[in-house]
A and B are shown apart, each in its own frame.
Chain A
Amino acid sequence: MRPILLQGHERSLTQIKYNRDGDLLFSCSKDHVINVWYTHNGERLGTYDGHNGTVWTVDVDSESRFMISGAADNELRLWNVATGKCLYTWEFPTAVKRVAFSEDDKQVVCITEQRMGYQCAIRVFNINRAGDGNKQSKEPAHMFNPVGSKATVCAFTAQPGVIFTGHESGKVALFNLKTGEEVHSNERAHGDVVTDLQMSEDRTYCITSSKDKSARIHDTKTLDVIKTFTTETPLNSAALSPNKPYVLLGGGQEAMSVTTTSLRQGKFETRFWHKVFEEEVGRVKGHFGPINTIAVHPKGLSYASGGEDGFVRVHNFDDSYFKSQPYGDLQIED
């Protein structure tokens, strides 16, 4: 396959996200810029300008109407997707590391960094979708400080009012938003900081990646570890494929040997593992630096990866990918 190279960022990518219909891809980077691209041809639709620091995270609602972003300038911003206009800005004492929309688009959750006397905080805001969207409440609907290790990633689960979090220590936990209490936790889910969290379509399970060189799939209700994928490099991102039994893992810090071939194409790889058999099934090269973020099209038709090199590479799978069955025909009979 021939990837489409999106060169809209001058510094490393921090997160990329497909919208629900899969026709738009949002990318944010350390260069303070958020870009949105049409996925069918890689054409850039526009940029969202306003942040004054590394944009760590973005998320888009299911209607592709509002986009939310969090940056190192301590701001959480709500944007109009179609026009690029910033609708509302929330300010905090510390940087915003992760944002996520709820499934009904009515709430967003965000994590603010622990720094200089401020504890790590998780806030949930109700989003007023009426009108332009620029009338939002300044105060959060819920706010709490998770005890113990600071949270690095979070997302809403299938259970109302419960969010799933990943922490610096490798812990994963479930928090009740109303009470702010940690409902359940798995302290030893990972051995090192949890770097990414992506939910399944129905939010009943999720995948986490960690610097402990592994990725794991967890049940979002019981926190049972369903699958573990162990690699030899710290992982920065993990994604689930909706239509094929694969998970995509990406990371960095490979021990690279000197190569005499030209570096027209980078050697950092996105790795495909079988979701059930926990075995690596393939790799795709291309990035010139560690892969920081991976996203899969909601219908599994393509995937995109964002790297430390500032490139986003969008790969449309070809027929052989859809037809191949490396473990044979394992269809469940009806």
Chain B
Amino acid sequence: RPKTSWADDVDELVSGQEEDDSVRTVIEYSVNEQGKKVKITRKIKRTLQKSVVQHQVAERQKWAKFGAEKGSARGPDRATTTVGEHVYLTLSAGGNKVRPNETEQQEEKKPVKSATGGKVVCRLCQGEHFTAKCPYKDTLGGLETSDTGAGPDDDTAPPVDAAPGLGSTGSKYVPPSLRGAGRGAGESMRGPGGGNRDDLPTLRVTNISEDTQENDLRELFGHFGRVARVYVGRDRDTGAGKGFAFVSFEDRAVAQKAMEKVNGKGYDNLILSVQWSREYPIILKLSFLIIKTEPRADPK
């Protein structure tokens, strides 16, 4: 027997009302634009609102009705006074980039969307397109799709006018990386006086085999100096390696040496590629030349 829904059970479209305490429930059945039966349940709660008004205003409330309303009972007449559907007024700065022909549903979503300012910024090249559509996906793309949970909706630029850290009424969400406060000494884990793992000199190692583990890389790179951290990119479901890893060193010179030595070397039947994981500022090393002069004895 096929499943029936409550809508099919109702043969007569009977509307009704019931009163229970101060809540009146009005049930209406009708047919909507798609020809489907619709049950509309309205729960009306009546509460007493008291307001203090000027004397003359209170006096006017007692006036007898006149003209077409002569003899009418107190209170609004449903023939002339009704309550309309919800309308939304969202106030935002910025003028005429306003959307002329929107449906009600879009309007309802608008307060949510406009929180980000609506500007699309590519994570790779900071252009005005979604990261997935970036023309430089191949060169700059690299490891964008690693399981960091990033998606297209992260491409909107952080709100321009939100003060970092503000969470109060109506303010937009500020991602942790942009919040101003809280980066004092010792706020971050590890490192003397608080170090940030993002400050460590880090190499990106690509073309590693699926079986390569953190410990393998620690051993390989540990040969050059102290390795602070190793991260091997893995498939979220299977746990298999995705072919890349990040190795962070405590010392930049050590990282530099390791990069030079390992890049292009074979490991587990694959040729490793090692690069800096991001743009690092170049540190110039100055060497001092000391010139010594000695008096020359005259050979004659």
Cβ-neighbour of B82 out of A5, A37, A49, A281 (below 8 A): A5
Also in contact, A83 and B66, with CB within 8 A (given A6-B80, A259-B103): yes
Restricting to B41-70, which residues have a CB under 8 Å from any CB of A?
51, 53-54, 56-57, 60-61, 63, 65-70
* CB–CB B101/A259 < 8 A: yes
A48 to B69, CA, bound (A): 10
In the complex, whether B79 has a CB less than 8 A from a CB of chain A is yes
Q: Which of A1, A45, A265, A325 has the most CB of B within 10 A?
A: A45
Least distance between B50 CB and chain A CB atoms (Å): 12
Residue of B nearest to A23 (CB): B57
- Give the residues in chain B near A265, CB-CB below 8 Å: 84-85, 87, 104
- Give the residues in chain A near B79, CB-CB below 8 Å: 7
In the complex, whether A187 has a CB less than 8 A from a CB of chain B is no
* CB–CB B104/A44 < 8 A: no
A1 to B89, CA, bound (A): 8
Least distance between A64 CB and chain B CB atoms (Å): 7
A327 to B61, CA, bound (A): 39
In the complex, whether B86 has a CB less than 8 A from a CB of chain A is yes
* CB–CB B84/A43 < 8 A: no
A261 to B67, CA, bound (A): 39
* CB–CB A84/B66 < 8 A: yes
Also in contact, A1 and B87, with CB within 8 A (given A47-B67, A49-B67): yes
SS of A interface (majority):
loop
- Give the residues in chain A near B82, CB-CB below 8 Å: 4-5, 7
Least distance between B281 CB and chain A CB atoms (Å): 35
In the complex, whether A188 has a CB less than 8 A from a CB of chain B is no
- Give the residues in chain A near B83, CB-CB below 8 Å: 2-5
Q: Annotate A295-318 by CB proximity to B: 1 below 8 A, 0 otherwise.
A: 000000000000000000101010
A328 to B61, CA, bound (A): 40
Residue of A nearest to B70 (CB): A46
In the complex, whether B293 has a CB less than 8 A from a CB of chain A is no
* CB–CB B67/A2 < 8 A: no
Least distance between B266 CB and chain A CB atoms (Å): 59
* CB–CB B94/A279 < 8 A: yes
In the complex, whether B283 has a CB less than 8 A from a CB of chain A is no
* CB–CB A45/B89 < 8 A: no
Q: How many A-B residue pairs have CB under 8 A?
A: 139
- Give the residues in chain A near B286, CB-CB below 8 Å: none
Restricting to A1-40, which residues have a CB under 8 Å from any CB of B?
1-8, 21, 23-24, 33, 37-38, 40
In the complex, whether B5 has a CB less than 8 A from a CB of chain A is no
- Give the residues in chain B near A331, CB-CB below 8 Å: none
Residue of B nearest to A270 (CB): B89
Residue of A nearest to B170 (CB): A324
A1 to B107, CA, bound (A): 13
A320 to B80, CA, bound (A): 29
* CB–CB B91/A41 < 8 A: no
Also in contact, A261 and B103, with CB within 8 A (given A38-B61, A43-B75, A321-B91): yes
Also in contact, A45 and B65, with CB within 8 A (given A24-B60, A321-B89, A326-B93): yes
Also in contact, A279 and B67, with CB within 8 A (given A21-B54, A259-B101, A315-B87): no
In the complex, whether A257 has a CB less than 8 A from a CB of chain B is yes
* CB–CB A46/B95 < 8 A: no
Interface CB pairs A-B, < 8 A, 11: A5-B83, A43-B77, A84-B67, A257-B100, A264-B85, A280-B98, A281-B92, A281-B93, A285-B87, A315-B87, A323-B169
